Structure 1
Amino acid sequence: MSQIFTLTMPKWGLSMTEGRVDAWLKEEGQAITKGDEVMDVETDKISSSVEAPFSGILRRQVARQDETLPVGALLGVVVEGEASDAEIDAVIEQFQSSFVPGDAVDEDSGPKPQKIELDGRLIRYFERGEGATPLVLIHGFGGDLNNWLFNHEALAAGRRVIALDLPGHGESAKTLQRGDLDELSGVVLALLDHLDINAAHLVGHSMGGAVALNVARLMPQRLRSLTLIGSAGLGAEINGSYLQGFVDAANRNALKPQLVQLFSNAELVNRQMLDDMLKYKRLEGVDAALRQLAGSVFRDGRQQVDLREVVQAGHVPTLVIWGSDDAIIPAAHADGLAARVEVLPGQGHMVQMEAAEQVNRLILDFIQQH
């Protein structure tokens, strides 16, 4: 029994409409396994690799290097089993004749971020999927819900998944009161209340991990599990010069050396990412919010809150994921934790973006057990 699969331009994040083919990573006639990186694509937000959602032989490269194609466009054909060239030609012809650019990015067809007022301030969140215990994604310092653009959809297969912008970040209100973890955790709990979610799985990255840990400290009964990715709150060390450099950066030349520290592949930091980050940093209230948070949670280049005991107490099942080469928070903070620990070799701080398929699989396997 043979199967002919079409490999198409993925949609990463809400605003992606097209991608440019940088390079094919597999040759025609080469065997590929589900999860293999097949080609590099650059979008206006980020460069990343297209992963094969199926296994087989790459029989046809349809997209050409340097070609810019809309989301959903045909990139290549993969065959499991046997198929003649004529059968492959027919599949390509049928696909191309029926493909309408824009269908995959129709603004009216998909879920959109929403904004609600929680305790007197506007909070943006985005949800997709339904069923099972909801999963909530919490970004880190200076990030927003787009930090999960390679995770949200994959995690939402058969489950409701919600990502939010913390106060001071993204399109949420920029004003902070105390600028501490209790304030940020209170917003997460208020969002759960607003959405009538009694129990949830929390996934937190970096400072978002400390926020998730603090929610577990305050209200363990509301949580089914915790997943902590390159998490703050588990040790004193943090890259203080990165934090200071990020907060102070006012142009591309100052910002780029900071952002490249987040990734194992520095080429992911493209001009658009820098421009987007500078645009955010120039919004009214952002500089004050970042300085307030850094001064409270990471004062003097050290983490001020130790939440290891939340994990060690064992009240909430915990998965810890770290990149071995994390240059922001050392992976050694995972040592000795009473949790399932997965250290991914060669990965940096933004491991949920750079090793998305692996991270998604780990999270799904873990939460299905709880």
Structure 2
Amino acid sequence: MSQIHTLTMPKWGLSMTEGRVDTWLKEEGERIEKGDQVLDVETDKISSSVETPFSGVLRRRIAQQDETLSVGALLAIVVEGDASDDEVDAVIERFQAEFVPGGDADEDSGPAPQKIQLEGRTLRFFDRGEGASPLVLIHGFGGDLNNWLFNHDALAAGRRVIALDLPGHGESGKTLQRGDLDELSQTVLSLLDHLDIESAHLAGHSMGGAVALNAARLAPNRVRSLTLIASAGLGSQINGEYLQGFVDAANRNALKPQLVQLFSDPALVNRQMLEDMLKFKRLEGVNAALRLLTTQLFAGGQQHTDLRSVVAQQPSLVIWGANDAIIPAAHAEGLSAQVEVLAGQGHMVQMEAAEQVNRLILGFLQGQ
């Protein structure tokens, strides 16, 4: 018995409404397996690969290169088993007749990010999904909750998942009192208090990993597990030239060479990403906040807080890109944790290898 599958334009984050087909990675007639990257799609935020959720033969490539399509639009037909061309044509015809571009936008959008006053400053967070054992996502230096654009929805399929903008970042208040890990970690714990969450799983990327580790050090009974992605706090080395270059950059030409170091594929750093980052960096208070954090956490282009011993205190998953140019993957060696080093990936592994990272996190959390 044959199965005819429809591969459609995914929705990566709340703001995505359409994507442009950049490059097909598979040919018609080619056998593909679940998880294979089939084509590259560019959005107004970033480029990423569309992975197939099923196996079979790529029978039809519907979307054309450089074509811009709405979320949910038909990209390709994948067939497992035998199916005639007439059967494939019938599925395509029915799909195209019933598909309404943007028709389920309101339904998909779900809750919007919220803003609260916490400890005298604004804090923005995004709360999605339901469950008794929440997961909190903590971004890195210079990032915001959108760094989890390709992860939040997938991780929230079976549990409550909360992403926040740390102080000095995103749309949270920009004023920092000390700019140290204790201040950032206490913000995470205070958000848990505000939401009446007794304990949570924490996932942190880069500086956010150090924030998660330090929260576990400060309040071990409130942290059920740690997921550390290219985490700070596990060794002294860090790319100080990147940090200084990022803080100093005031235009696209200065910023782009810094951001390309975050990715294994430099083409992902598009004009929109640069414009969004420059817009953030020009907000009042951001420059002072970033410089204070750099001074407190990464003075002299080194990390000064060793939190390796915290890893062994609760179940921990450590994920790293083997080609990370910001914090070396060697920092994962010797940890009392499940360690996953992804070949060919860079610092923003949760964006570039989102499907793989999501699977790792979901598998890890199922055991907790």
TM-score (norm 2): 0.98
Which position in structure 2 is the counterpart of 1:342?
340
Matches within 5 A, 1:1-370: 1-106=1-106, 109-311=109-311, 314-370=312-368
| Aligned-partner Cα distance in 2 for 1:80–1:108 | 28
- 8 Å CA contact 1:204–1:229 kept in 2: the answer is yes
Same amino acid, percent of matched pairs: 79
Q: Is the partner of 2:69 in helix, strand or coil? A: strand
Preserved contact between residue 114 and residue 125 of structure 2 (Cα < 8 Å): yes
- Contact map agreement 1:71 1:104 (CA 8 A) in 2: no
Structure 1 runs (4+) greater than 3 angstroms displaced:
none
Give yes or no for contact 1:25–1:39 (8 Å, CA) kept in 2. yes
Paired residue type of 1:306 = D
In 2, the alpha carbon distance for the partners of 1:46 and 1:103 equals 23
Q: Aligned-pair distance for 1:108?
A: 8.0
Report SS of the residue matched to 1:357.
Answer: helix
Shift of 1:220: 0.9
* Distance (whole Å) between structure 2 residues aligned to residue 107 and residue 143 of structure 1: 28
Q: Report the CA distance between 1:204 and its aligned residue.
A: 0.3
Check the 8 A contact 2:14/2:109 in 1, yes or no: no
**TM-superposition CA deviations, 1:23-42 (whole Å, max 9, x none):** 11111111111111010111
> TM-score scaled by structure 1?
0.97
SS, match of residue 103 in structure 1: coil
Contact 1:198 1:222 in 2 (8 A): yes
Contact 1:132–1:158 (CA<8 Å) still a contact in 2? no
Q: CA deviation at 1:106?
A: 2.7
Cα deviation per residue 1:80-99 (whole Å; 9 max; x = unaligned)? 12211111111111111111
Q: Give the CA RMSD over aligned residues.
A: 1.2
Look up the SS of the partner of 1:93 in the other structure. helix
Q: Whole-Å Cα distance in 1 between the matches of residues 4 and 247 of structure 2?
A: 50
Q: 2:114 & 2:272 partners in 1: Cα distance? A: 24
How far apart in 1 are the matches of 2:193 and 2:307?
24
Question: For the residues of structure 2 that align with 1:106 and 1:69, how far apart are their CA atoms?
Answer: 18
Report the secondary structure of 2:116's partner residue: strand
